[in-house]
A and B are shown apart, each in its own frame.
Chain A
Amino acid sequence: MNNDFDDLDRALFALPLAEPPPGLRQSILNATVYAPAPAIAAPVQLWEIVAAGTAVAIGVWLIFALVVYKGFAASFDADVVATLRAVLNPSALIWLGAGSAVTAWLTLFGPSGLRLPVRGARS
């Protein structure tokens, strides 16, 4: 198929590549090799962020409740049981599932997907 195009091939392969703008390599290196190491070295999974956020929120809420509401500690056990009963009924679970599904769908397929801040990394 390509036997007829030998001269064209030679001319194509002889074409010089476009010259990159000055500073491109340095800006790439600054954004990659020389970029400051992230605070968390290992790649962080989404579920880890969600779990950490949930744990912090529960902790803050517990401290707040202990400080503000007198007798909270005494009634904590009963409150936990009542909360679990409220959360673990079928209609609450359905609503929780629906909310989680919508959140997951919007996160994965929504119009504003996560974009890398490349322009900002320029030197």
Chain B
Amino acid sequence: MSTLAAADPEDGQLVGAALAGRPEAFGTLVERYERAVYHLCLRTMREPEEARDCAQEAFFKAFRSLHTFKPGAKFSTWIFSIAYHACCDRLGRRRRFADEELPDGADPSPGPERIAEINDEARALRAAVDALPEKYQTVITLYHLQGRQYEEIARVLDLPMGTVKTHLFRAKELLRKALTPQ
């Protein structure tokens, strides 16, 4: 019986099927992770067009190097890592070739006054996350996507787990401070 016959095949099974000559299995993985990968790219790049390019590049690279995916590894960690590094490459190039950190169309981080004005809790939290320093923002975004799996977050970012935990703790402290009414 085909491994894809299961109603909800695991990611590893889909990778295996794609490698075995059924590329449509990769389509299911795209369907599963498109939104999360785009979200990560958008939070990292802060520019929808660049995020779109990075997400597409990530899936393209993943498809081309599917044979390097280690059996037993988490596909989410793998694709997030590819996407994050694609973003870093572009950010590096952007910073090298442009004399600015963010493009003109970038989503500007709101200041504390703006955050205080926002009544809706989710929007306020989103604004507070946007206002975080970049390194904390990425960790918080991955925490949002991966849950409390610190080891997976550390793998995506190529950081020691202790550093991830520290960044996360500081990020949460900053968020709480930003969201606490003065």
Contact = CB atoms under 8 A, between A and B. Distances in A.
Given A12-B140, A116-B57, A24 B34 contact: yes
Contact of B175 (A8, A21, A31): A8
- Give the interface centre of A5, A16, A20, A31 by most chain B CB atoms within 10 Å: A20
B35 A17 contact: yes
A11 B30 contact: no
Interface string A17-40: 111110011011101110000000
Contacts of A5: 172, 176
A21 B110 CA distance: 23
Given A17-B39, A118-B57, A119-B53, A33 B122 contact: no
B15 interface: no
Q: How large is the interface on B (under 10, 10 to 19, 20 to 34, 35 or more residues)?
A: 35 or more
A121 interface: yes
A20 B55 contact: yes
Given A15-B144, A25-B34, A122 B165 contact: no
A15 B165 CA distance: 21
A116 B60 contact: yes
Q: How large is the interface on A (under 10, 10 to 19, 20 to 34, 35 or more residues)?
A: 20 to 34
A64 interface: no
A29 B61 CA distance: 12
B104 interface: no
B63 interface: yes
B30 A32 contact: yes
A118 B83 CA distance: 13
A33 B24 contact: yes
A121 B125 contact: no
A20 B54 CA distance: 12
Interface in A97-111: none
Interface of A: 1-2, 5, 8, 11-21, 24-25, 27-29, 31-33, 43, 116, 118-119, 121-122
Interface of B: 23-24, 26-27, 30-31, 34-36, 38-39, 42-43, 48, 51-53, 55-57, 59-61, 63-64, 67, 121-122, 125-126, 129, 140, 143-145, 147-148, 165, 168-169, 172, 175-176, 179
6 contacts: A5-B176, A15-B125, A17-B38, A20-B55, A24-B38, A116-B57
